[in-house]
Structure 1
Amino acid sequence: MAGLGGTKMKNTWQQVKKVGIVHRLLSFWSRDWFLKVVSIWLAIVLWVLVGGEDTIEKTVNVPVEIINLPRGLVVSNQYKKKIEVSLTGPRSVILDMDDRNIVRQVDLSKATPGTMVVNNDVDHIDVPRSLTVQRVQPPSIILSIDKLVQKQYAVVANTVGDVAPGFEVKSIRMNPEYVMITGPGSVLSQLSALQTSYISLDGFRRSEQLQVPLDLSPAIVSLIGETSVTADIVVGLVVAVKTVELPLVVQEKGLSLLPKTVSVTASFPQILLDKGKKAKDLLVAHAERYGQTDQFNVIVTSQNNEEFPVKVISVLPRRVSEGKAKLLRATTKKKSE
């Protein structure tokens, strides 16, 4: 009987406890139940967004930015302008990386001329706190620091081929004749002049003006870009300068001027002389009366066509007088008597 009584009392106590728990729960929900529901809902949402979001990994390209480079210095070598950074973190933050301006800044405020190795540690990449930098490639960047100088260089024409037979290049003038370049001293010290790309002169018979690109190394292109200049090419005939004696041709009948010949110096196209033409046969000297005076001007003209002109340099004498001709006729008449 004693055992049975104890069991009943135990069951009764448990029922009392259950009633008490239920009563407390009812009391909890009966007070401000709406606020409690909202709080539990916000807690669930927060857990999903933070604790319950997937963690992923992504590799992004981060640009390298040089800052605080001292005046008068320049980075002279080609270095990797972007580095690869592997990140891990919440999916939403990782996928949003394209909208974030993340850069690898390299502070060169203490730089001096020479070679400098810049290590790309994970601590050098500034990312949101929810992200972790796993690795960086390349692990380091090599920079060549050089003095910034300015030099002037002549532009030189680089010609190939031959002009047409009988012709020659008289001159080639470049515009501009000089180009000023500012850049690393080690790069500019290797440059003596700026040469053009090949200019073909094959078959040229006349002067030409051409736009010609400069033949530049990649290092110089990075300083001044792809650059073109103007080449003024003057082409003319190959000539031989000769002096010949020409007889004077008088238009007025009965006149015989002295001297009967004049000395003419002229430039003769070599192509005509090579074809067997005689220099004296290419020119004619005329005597034309000067106004109402007794003097005559000596006019020398070319007998060949305009394609290969003869250019007169000098004529001696330039003028003769009728008085000398009269004196000549009187002397001749006296001798005949």
Structure 2
Amino acid sequence: MEKLVKQIIRRTPTPNFLNWPNNWVLKLISLIFAVLLWYFVVGEDKIDTTVFIPVEIVNLPRELVISNQFKKQLEATVSGPRGLINSINRQRITRTINLAKATPGTIVIRNEPETIQFPRGITISRIQPTHISLLIDELVEKELPVQARTTGTPANGYELGGIVFEPQSIKISGPKAVVGREKLLAAKNIDISGLKESTTIQIPLELRPAILDLMGETVVTANVMIREKTIEKTITDIPVNLSGTAPSRKITLEPDTISIRAMLPQSSKGNQSGLIEASVLTDGLPAGLHKLPVKITAPEQIKIIEILPATVTVRIGRGPDK
């Protein structure tokens, strides 16, 4: 650089400061910058190298989505002055693809040297891949239920009462070709072997690859309900009680006992009638005959199937003896 400046000075005639224009300082600075630029662009060694250029998709309509995998960066072989080449990594150079006018279908895009804006002085000799294929599809959204699957059986005398997931369904969005045919999201198998009581576990979803790419690894909470097995029994001789009866009137019931069909735990012993209360509401009724429904109150583990009979005849007298 020093030799170059001395050569320029020797070849430059001695200036006559009286004849210099007023802006001679600006012109001198411009000359210095021109010399420096010439040195960096022409005087530097030229090198060849390979750089990686990211692909940038812009202006894709909201109702569309790219449904295929494509190369997210290009491999470009370039040549130019060492300084310019070294500056590439500090610049945000991309291969921009404008999809503002895209429609559903396949688009093939050529990667030409002029599609990448390198600094002036850099030459592109090769770009790989030479083409990018994009499959454009409609963007759809669906809410899919989570499906339970189990292995094994609970302990003897117990059964699976059900599985409730949190959340019970998951909303996903993606290409119509991928999401459109999905009906549910299957959880991995839940092992219920030997269980005697309900439990809560975290369980991942078992997704096919295309859905996994959209959702990523997803875990849900499974509330596994285990209950004692039940059997159907008929419980007889349950007395019917009066509710809201005025003590000044005589009331008779026909019949005054009922039976029920119910599902009870297998471990239940005896008639169980003492656990069940039957009643009829007579409050506010006038004297005479009335057909009233029987109300049953029973523990949670007893599930009523049928009341026999479901109604009873109530006779309300006008006085204590009538």
- For the residue of structure 1 that corresponds to 2:83, the secondary structure is helix
* 2:135 matches 1:144: yes
- Which residue of structure 2 lines up, in the alignment, with residue 220 of structure 1? 211
Q: Percent identity between the aligned chains?
A: 39
- For the residue of structure 2 that corresponds to 1:51, the secondary structure is helix
| Root-mean-square deviation (Å) | 4.2
Deviations 1:204-241 (A, max 9, x none): 21111222222223332333333222222211011112
- Which residue of structure 2 lines up, in the alignment, with residue 68 of structure 1? 59
* 2:167 matches 1:176: yes
Deviations 1:143-170 (A, max 9, x none): 1001112222111112222221211111
Is the contact between residue 162 and residue 224 of structure 2 (CA under 8 Å) also seen in structure 1? yes
* 2:18 matches 1:31: no
- Consecutive unaligned residues in structure 1, runs of 5 or more: 1-26, 249-258, 274-278, 287-300, 303-308, 318-337
* 2:67 matches 1:84: no
Supply the distance in 2 between the matched residues of 1:104 and 1:81 (Cα, whole angstroms).
10
Partner amino acid, structure 1, of 2:127:
V
Deviates more, 1:208-217 or 1:145-154: 208-217
Aligned length: 259
Supply the distance in 1 between the matched residues of 2:191 and 2:149 (Cα, whole angstroms).
9
- Pairing 1:24-173 to 2, within 5 Å after superposition: 31-32=14-15, 48-173=39-164
1:93–1:223 distance in 2 versus 1, CA, 3 Å: same
- Pairing 1:128-277 to 2, within 5 Å after superposition: 128-243=119-234, 267-270=263-266, 272=267
Is the contact between residue 154 and residue 160 of structure 2 (CA under 8 Å) also seen in structure 1? yes
1:33–1:166 distance in 2 versus 1, CA, 3 Å: farther
Partner amino acid, structure 1, of 2:162:
S
Is the contact between residue 246 and residue 285 of structure 1 (CA under 8 Å) also seen in structure 2? no
- Pairing 1:271-290 to 2, within 5 Å after superposition: 272=267, 279-280=269-270, 285=274
- For the residue of structure 1 that corresponds to 2:44, the secondary structure is coil
Q: Which is higher, the Rg of structure 1 or of structure 2?
A: 1
Partner amino acid, structure 2, of 1:226:
E
Give the TM-score normalised by the residue count of structure 1. 0.63
- For the residue of structure 1 that corresponds to 2:148, the secondary structure is strand
Is the contact between residue 246 and residue 264 of structure 1 (CA under 8 Å) also seen in structure 2? no
Deviation at 1:310, TM superposition (A): 7.3
Give the TM-score normalised by the residue count of structure 2. 0.66
Supply the distance in 1 between the matched residues of 2:237 and 2:33 (Cα, whole angstroms).
119
Between Structure 1 and Structure 2, which shows a larger proportion of helix residues? Answer: 1
Is the contact between residue 74 and residue 129 of structure 2 (CA under 8 Å) also seen in structure 1? yes
Supply the distance in 2 between the matched residues of 1:138 and 1:115 (Cα, whole angstroms).
17
Is the contact between residue 119 and residue 141 of structure 1 (CA under 8 Å) also seen in structure 2? yes
1:206–1:81 distance in 2 versus 1, CA, 3 Å: same
Is the contact between residue 264 and residue 312 of structure 1 (CA under 8 Å) also seen in structure 2? no
Deviation at 1:42, TM superposition (A): 8.2
- Consecutive unaligned residues in structure 2, runs of 5 or more: 1-9, 18-23, 240-254, 276-297, 310-322
Supply the distance in 1 between the matched residues of 2:190 and 2:124 (Cα, whole angstroms).
55
Partner amino acid, structure 2, of 1:209:
T
